[in-house]
Structure 1
């Protein structure tokens, strides 16, 4: 039993490490669970969802000890150089290395034209463009040391099909999309950079200000060639593929059931 335990511990210490921002719930948590099931050690980042992050880490550590940890941080920390350096120190202290960085954290809400304000601009661009860029830059030396990769969660609306009523969000995600392509050049050949563009892979929570009624939900299903809403696991599968596809960089995979083939920008 001691030999088996020692071997398992040694294998765990050699396992690659993945950090997923905004990963206590929903799509981020699905990516964490899928990566962990494939042998990764995982860093769960959250800001407000500390309870959910701890519960997820506890579950994963129960199945494989010392394989999951959490980092709590407001991504606005990238606005302060000293605080950002401390965040990087905390990330590296978790397991001593970083192999995969997944930019999942994102704010999403409408900004009707005529009522757009500075606070909306700052918040949406922070989470969807500025934080991913500056966090990538700060972690570049460690990703380079591991010949690692960056994977960004984007949006099918960020590529010439804007979401009506969401101008600032559309612009921020389009900037993030260009970041993926730019960094694929800047960080080659040592670090690969790719993206996953979801369609409707999860519906808004029923108690949120983005909740959809049954008619809206059916309209969405009718607009998808596959005639069903996707799942967070569909996204996680594509993220893991990109994490392991060592000759793929600068690519963005749409995971949308074919919806982007027929989509014009609209509200639902």
Structure 2
């Protein structure tokens, strides 16, 4: 386990605090920036993207001194009760409170049938189901103190429309979806729990094993009623709405340009 905490004293000790897991780049970073723009103090969590996290924190702290901190940790920390407790204390040392917990960190890759192994199962379920549940449980007392909320990033394939060759990922996200609905009941009325289900709101990085060629991108765009790939900010706007929607719990907002209307599952 590797944890790192980096903070400076915030000038505004009354601003709400948001923690976003896996938020050094891409959609997570967009959520952090949007929250910061609305006056939140932000905790940027990362595992392997420490350089990007530092760059983001420095950018935000130039806007408001002491308004952003980073925490570096593998989410496998949830597998050890003592390590998890230390992780929670590190989170709470940042600003002394927590108002919004956003589960954004996620691993995503195919697991074709006949090649599925224990390591894939463990990794995909860790980031997409187990860590969100155990971290929510561990942080509940602090969220309850603030009458705060939890927001989970899900997937349009997590509900009745599985993605071919991604059985383990789809199963894990489906479990995460049920977590949102279950915890919304169990944590009410003190903590609200909601989710956002993106469609194609960001393409895989061009240098990754998930990169898409021009033909694949065109096929995806043609399947979206809005006829364009979404933007990370589209997800961030939904997250910020849920963070402030005081009478909404147990809901999952789909942000996919209408893709769910044409989606039948499969490839």
> How high is the TM-score relative to the length of structure 1?
0.95
Aligned-partner Cα distance in 2 for 1:265–1:120: 22
Where does structure 1 differ by over 4 angstroms across 4 or more consecutive aligned residues? none
Q: Find the counterpart in structure 2 of residue 118 from structure 1.
A: 118
Q: Find the counterpart in structure 1 of residue 5 from structure 2.
A: none
Q: Which has the higher helix share?
A: 1
Q: Find the counterpart in structure 1 of residue 93 from structure 2.
A: 93
Aligned-partner Cα distance in 2 for 1:10–1:123: 35
8 Å contact 2:181–2:193 — kept in the other structure?
yes
Q: Find the counterpart in structure 1 of residue 64 from structure 2.
A: 64
Shift of 1:10: 8.7
8 Å contact 2:196–2:253 — kept in the other structure?
yes
Alignment of structure 1 residues 15-26 onto 2, 5 Å: 15-26=15-26
Shift of 1:12: 1.7
Q: Find the counterpart in structure 2 of residue 190 from structure 1.
A: 190
Q: Find the counterpart in structure 2 of residue 40 from structure 1.
A: 40
Aligned-partner Cα distance in 1 for 2:12–2:61: 11
Aligned-partner Cα distance in 1 for 2:10–2:254: 37
Shift of 1:266: 3.0
Deviations 1:87-112 (A, max 9, x none): 00000000000000000000000000
Shift of 1:11: 7.1
Q: Find the counterpart in structure 2 of residue 235 from structure 1.
A: 235
> How high is the TM-score relative to the length of structure 2?
0.96
Return closer, same or farther for 1:194/1:164 CA change in 2, 3 Å cut-off: same
Aligned-partner Cα distance in 1 for 2:231–2:10: 34
Shift of 1:114: 1.0
Q: Find the counterpart in structure 1 of residue 3 from structure 2.
A: none
Q: Unaligned stretches of 5+ in structure 2?
A: 1-8
Q: Unaligned stretches of 5+ in structure 1?
A: 1-8
The answer to whether the aligner puts 1:253 opposite 2:253 as a matched pair is: yes
The answer to whether the aligner puts 1:207 opposite 2:207 as a matched pair is: yes
Aligned-partner Cα distance in 2 for 1:110–1:27: 20
Task: Report how many residues are paired.
Answer: 259
3-state SS of 1:12 partner: coil
Aligned-partner Cα distance in 2 for 1:257–1:52: 29
Q: CA RMSD in A?
A: 1.0
Aligned-partner Cα distance in 1 for 2:249–2:65: 33
Q: Find the counterpart in structure 2 of residue 13 from structure 1.
A: 13
Q: Find the counterpart in structure 1 of residue 75 from structure 2.
A: 75
Alignment of structure 1 residues 159-174 onto 2, 5 Å: 159-174=159-174
Shift of 1:65: 0.3
